[in-house]
Amino acid sequence: MGLPDLATPLPVPLELDRSAPGPRAVGVELTVTTAAPVRTSVSRRPELLLFATLPAFVVYVAVAVATVATETDSTSAELTPAALSDLGPSWMALHVLWMAPSVLAALGLALLAARAGLRTTPQVRRLREGAIALAVLYLVPQGMAYTLDAQTWGDSPWYAVGVALSLGVAWLGTIPATLLVTTGLARRGIVPRTARTIAALCGLYLVWEVLTYASIAFGPATLTDTVGPPPFLLGLLWAALGARLWWAGRQDGA
């Protein structure tokens, strides 16, 4: 027999000596109240958003191979005005896909922080808003590629603006939000080992990328020659966090 429902009256008969004088008690009702179970997991909606960042990166790579890779053997910085004209709307679609994983991560991390009751939720929400705003602004210089009057896209000042905005989405948005959420989850005891591991790897990724692009100011490297760490690594980290939270939810019966 399972536990009684909340506030369920249970009749408990009392056997009394019927020969004794005075009123007879025929029974009493005993009310048993059970405490609601404590939930240690969070909603699966943020988990799905985080996990979706990895497929979004895969779709971006597939589209890049089918579009930009057919026009140049190098990076997009080598695209000529004629090549950009040939790409047409696919050029903008490619950059929308490039921003999609970051937007998904920003939304998922903010929702996760709120559902987990983290003290840093207001900061994570502000980082989400900043990341989305920078992602929208990033599309502006990409649209200017259609009016390119330089020899290649990398020679245009709009190329540098686009790179700066792309880095800003990560450095001023998704990466700090990831660090705040994962350290907060670890403190709350929610998938602590996974959260600490992802926080450490995300921190190393940020240091790697900052040092890579900082070398432009102190060395002979140029912006068009500089290649940072593979961005899909962040997708792997976000997807791993989402998958681990989903599995923890299943184990808890959430």
Domain boundaries, the chain: 44-246
Q: How far apart, in whole angstroms, are the C-alpha atoms of residue 28 and residue 87?
A: 82
35-70 burial, b at 16+ Cβ within 10 Å, e below that, comes to eeeeeebbebebbebbbbbbebbeebeebbeebbee
Residue 161's nearest CA partner among 247, 100, 95, 89 is 95
Per-residue tens of pLDDT for the chain, all 254 residues = 444 444 444 444 444 444 555 555 444 444 444 444 444 444 458 999 999 999 999 999 999 999 998 888 778 889 999 999 999 999 999 999 999 999 999 999 999 999 999 999 999 999 999 999 999 999 999 999 999 999 999 999 999 999 999 999 999 999 999 999 999 999 999 999 999 999 999 999 999 999 999 888 777 768 877 888 888 899 999 999 999 999 988 887 64
| Per-residue model confidence (pLDDT) at position 5 | 45
Q: What is the pLDDT of residue 236?
A: 96
The pair of structure tokens assigned to 161 is 């603006």
Task: Quickly list H helices, 67-148.
Answer: 81-87, 89-116, 121-143
pLDDT value of residue 251: 80
**CA pair distance 169, 77, nearest whole angstrom:** 20
Residue 28 DSSP SS3 = strand
For 170, which DSSP code? I
Tokens in use for 163?
Answer: 């790179």
Burial class (CB in 10 A: 0-12, 13-18, 19+), 144: middle
**Cβ neighbours of residue 208 under 8 Å, at least 6 residues apart?**
228, 229
| Structure tokens given for 80 | 């000529």
